[in-house]
Amino acid sequence: MTKKYLEGNQYNPDIYRSDLDHWQEGDYTVYRTTQWTAPGCHDGCGILAYVNKEGKLEKIEGDPANGYSRGALCMRCLDIVEAMYSEDRLKYPMKRAYEDRGKDKWERISWDEAFDLIEEKVRYFQETYGSGSIVVQQGTGRNTTFFHSTALCYVGFNSPSDTGGFLSGSSCYGPRASVMALMAGCFIISDMSQALPERFDSPDYVLPECILIWGNSPLVSNPDGFLGHWIVEAMKRGSELVVVDPRLTWLAAKAKYWLPLRPATDAALAMAIANVIDEEDLIDHEFIDCWSYGYDAFIEGCRTMSVEQAADICCLEAEDIRAAARFIGSAKPCSLQWGLKLDQQVSATPAGQAIMGIVGMTGNIDVPGGNLLMVDHAFNLALSTGSNWRFVPEDQRKMILGNNRYPMHAQGDVGNMAQEDVVLETLESDGKLNDVGKDFPLKMFVLYSTNPISNMATEAPRIYDAMVNHSEFNVDINYVLTPSAMAYCELVLPIAMGPERNSLRAWWWPLRVIRKASDRYYECKTDEELVAELCNRLNPDSPIPNNDIDWMNQILSESNTDLTFEELTKEVIVWPDWHYKKYETGEVRYDGQPGFNTYTGRFEFTPVLFQQFNLPLVPYYEEPRESPVSTPELAEQYPLILMTGRRSWEFFHSEHRNLETMREFHPDPIVEIAAELAEEQGIQDGDWVWIENHRGRCRQRAKITPGLNPRYVMAEHGWWFPEEDRERLYGVFDSNINNLTTQSNIGQSGYGAPYNGLLCKIYKCTEANSEVLPTEQVTEKGGWSYERNHLDF
């Protein structure tokens, strides 16, 4: 079946549509289902799960009858069997004493004992410090990020303190999501025909003439409801690319225009591109006149950035910017696929605003092959339940850390989370410094699919200090024992993986079922079971049913589909009805009127609420706060511009490091450098090098990389070494690029932090300069001394 599918190179739903949700193949029962997490992923591809007579998963294949992923799978998904039965997987709940933080002194306990312990601690902290002292930290776009962590926090703990794992500046999607919410009233996403079951061959679909890929590497990252290989399918059919990326990615190498800008200068480039499009009258007058607000002010603001100035700031040629802008403006349609690197800078909000402006001014909102509106929640499903916000009592709503200081943070679908830098300073000050106006001590943290010191947080040594010294009782809900849990948790709860759970994939269209295919591993519970049970145990008035299936049915019953969970299991995947230009037909606004779900009901080039938030109304450019321009003296010492965290095929953040297959492909951390820099520093390809700045250092292996500016380097994030000693925290700081990054150094809006675009230097590791490794430096010698940034309360 798969072979025929590939040979045809054309998707034929009649041949590959399957009416079955499971069948028998020899000794295997084969289930059609969706894989989301665990292990981590942003997407939800269709899989065939081959389960043997003993209930064990033996094999995974792509499901060719799934119109979303069409049989394709990435290497991590194909390797799920190894992940599920790895020796590193947690089997039982385990606890350890507060005094034993950092020590491998775990004791196996039962679920009942674990829940009793949680109940005892929750009651104590609620009564002694208030329920806000219990914090739930979520990681990125996994199952848990949707209804689980907020349910546990709001319903189980009655706390408003749901937040990221110290994700500085909420720098993943938050900046773009809030700008989209303010300008368009909901998310937009590149139209690769994913809203249409017939996909590219649908008569309603128009192929983009231009795909604008900005700060995103979709082939590797497949982020946020988007599969990168859709772009390759579009390219095969004739789409051309503009790629804005300092690195020569595979897509950049095939682009009509590649703009390798200086890291973190995107706002300047976007303003200049908007200028050219306006000057050359490539704008969509009808959309601007009839459906938008604030265009004149917006473009006036962009005019303060001439193409020549932008070229100078971004280290590009003015003529290249003009040519790319002309193509973006004249291509019909043009589709934007943007990414994380826009969020990871202090100019995240203005950069996002300017780029959204480009999509609006060129008339590419909700047109075929442009950028879709309202596909983020199939059947409004996660929209009605995703945030569980309705369960937060009125008096708690003002108690969300960071929303007073950064009111924009409260905007949009992902806007109810406590702001991470404010959470950190509240923790560090034992509750004294915050923006809520009263003592707010933070005592108990639940790490709910996050591993902050390996990965999510910037300034990892600072997070380590803060958590070890200021929190009292912490729980990790996970499938492996992570460095964060080893460093500062008292309880770990073993969690089931994707093929073991009953759940829903509702974030982004279409709606997909996640159904239990194989038996649970040892005593693991699914996140759905765990949250449902814990909410009911802790809160007698829990509006959440106390088992997974009833909960899923409750969520489905509140959406606008009639399907029950059982029916959805049979369907596997369902597309809601779809048509373009929904803002004309009143399907975007909550009140059913035509227009956008914004303050003015129009597409807001200059968001009206910016004024209320004390933010500039028009896009502006802020030079990175550490750069050869803003800190020339520091740049003499640290002359290189550090980019971090471009995604790898083998890993999802700090996950997958324990899997032999992935490590065979990718054994060590890699820092990409140019040949000129290698020569200058006497570095050979594959040498271990120190990457260092005034905040700290870490070591990775140099990879000489063509097409890279000799002054830019790209280091990997998320590294720990599961093969190493647990009590050395698996060497978590040795190769940790977040020894060099900074907290409390964020954009004016509270969004955007420089995970990317800082200064550093690189030199070869020698025995003499490697006597004290970073893990010992941090855990035994108090880290490095440098001046920390602080928010000013």
Ligand X SMILES: Nc1nc2c(c(=O)[nH]1)N[C@H]1C(S)=C(S)[C@@H](COP(=O)(O)OP(=O)(O)OC[C@H]3O[C@@H](n4cnc5c(=O)[nH]c(N)nc54)[C@H](O)[C@@H]3O)O[C@H]1N2
- Does residue 653 bind ligand X (CB under 6 A)? yes
Stretches 152-160, 334-342, 376-384, 389-397: which one binds ligand X (CB under 6 A)?
A: 334-342
Give the strand pairing for 573-574 and 511-514: antiparallel
- Does residue 144 bind ligand X (CB under 6 A)? yes
Candidates 184, 186, 264, 534; binder of ligand X (CB under 6 A) is 264
CB of 304 to ligand X, least distance (A): 21
- Indicate the residue type of 117: L
3-class state of residue 336 by DSSP: strand
Give the DSSP letter of residue 787.
P
Are 529 and 545 within 8 A, CB to CB?
Answer: no
64 binds, among Mo ion, ligand X, none (CB under 5 to 8 A by kind): none
Candidates 292, 347, 385, 454; binder of ligand X (CB under 6 A) is 454
Residue 39 and residue 69: Cα distance in Å, rounded?
A: 18
Stretches 50-58, 89-97, 212-220, 772-780: which one binds ligand X (CB under 6 A)?
A: 212-220
- Does residue 140 bind Mo ion (CB under 5 A)? yes
Residue 328 and residue 333: Cα distance in Å, rounded?
A: 9
CB of 730 to ligand X, least distance (A): 12
Residue 604 and residue 292: Cα distance in Å, rounded?
A: 6
Candidates 376, 527, 622, 734; binder of ligand X (CB under 6 A) is 527
Residue facing ligand X at closest CB distance: 645
Q: Strand pairing partners for 59?
A: 50
503 binds, among ligand X, Mo ion, none (CB under 5 to 8 A by kind): none
CB of 450 to Mo ion, least distance (A): 11
Are 737 and 644 within 8 A, CB to CB?
Answer: yes
Burial class for 681, CB neighbours closer than 10 Å (0-12, 13-18, 19+): middle
Are 761 and 395 within 8 A, CB to CB?
Answer: no
CB of 199 to ligand X, least distance (A): 22
146 binds, among Mo ion, ligand X, none (CB under 5 to 8 A by kind): none
Q: Closest Cα partner for 327 from 429, 233, 210, 406?
A: 210
- Does residue 415 bind ligand X (CB under 6 A)? no
482 binds, among ligand X, Mo ion, none (CB under 5 to 8 A by kind): ligand X
CB of 289 to ligand X, least distance (A): 31
Torsion on CA atoms 608, 614, 620, 625, rounded to nearest 10: -150
Residue 327 CA, distance from chain mean position: 30
* Residues near ligand X (CB under 6 A), total: 68
Q: Give per-residue burial for 467-479: e unless 16+ CB within 10 Å, then b.
A: beebbbbbbbbbb
Give the DSSP H or E segment for 47: strand 45-51
* Measured CA distances, 98 to 118, 292, 472, 492 (Å): 14, 56, 7, 13
Candidates 62, 169, 339, 696; binder of ligand X (CB under 6 A) is 339
Q: Give per-residue burial for 38-48: e unless 16+ CB within 10 Å, then b.
A: bbbbbbbbbbb
Task: Give the x-and-dash track for 86-125 against Mo ion (CB under 5 A).
Answer: ----------------------------------------
Are 42 and 224 within 8 A, CB to CB?
Answer: yes
Candidates 101, 176, 515, 647; binder of ligand X (CB under 6 A) is 647
**Share in percent of the chain as helix, strand, coil (round to 5):** 35, 15, 50
Q: CB atoms < 10 A from the CB of 6, how many?
A: 11
Stretches 186-194, 562-570, 621-629, 640-648: which one binds ligand X (CB under 6 A)?
A: 640-648
514 binds, among Mo ion, ligand X, none (CB under 5 to 8 A by kind): none
450 binds, among ligand X, Mo ion, none (CB under 5 to 8 A by kind): ligand X
3-class state of residue 605 by DSSP: coil
Q: Strand pairing partners for 584?
A: none
Toward ligand X, which CB reaches closer, 144 or 744?
144
Stretches 18-26, 134-142, 422-430, 578-586: which one binds ligand X (CB under 6 A)?
A: 134-142
Are 490 and 507 within 8 A, CB to CB?
Answer: no
Task: Give the x-and-dash track for 731-770 against ligand X (CB under 6 A).
Answer: ------xx--x-------------xxx-------------
- Does residue 450 bind ligand X (CB under 6 A)? yes
Candidates 216, 364, 503, 744; binder of ligand X (CB under 6 A) is 216
- Indicate the residue type of 610: F
Sign of the alpha-carbon dihedral angle for 125, 131, 133, 136: positive
624 binds, among Mo ion, ligand X, none (CB under 5 to 8 A by kind): none
Q: Strand pairing partners for 507?
A: 377
CB of 220 to ligand X, least distance (A): 5
CB of 140 to Mo ion, least distance (A): 4
CB of 600 to ligand X, least distance (A): 30
- Does residue 163 bind ligand X (CB under 6 A)? no
Q: Which of residues 156-185 bind Mo ion (CB under 5 A)?
A: 172
Q: Which residues bind Mo ion (CB under 5 A)?
A: 140, 172
Q: Which residues bind ligand X (CB under 6 A)?
A: 37-40, 42, 139-144, 165, 167, 172, 214-218, 220-223, 244-247, 249, 263-264, 266, 339-341, 448-451, 454-456, 477-480, 482, 495, 527, 643-649, 651-655, 717-718, 737-738, 741, 755-757
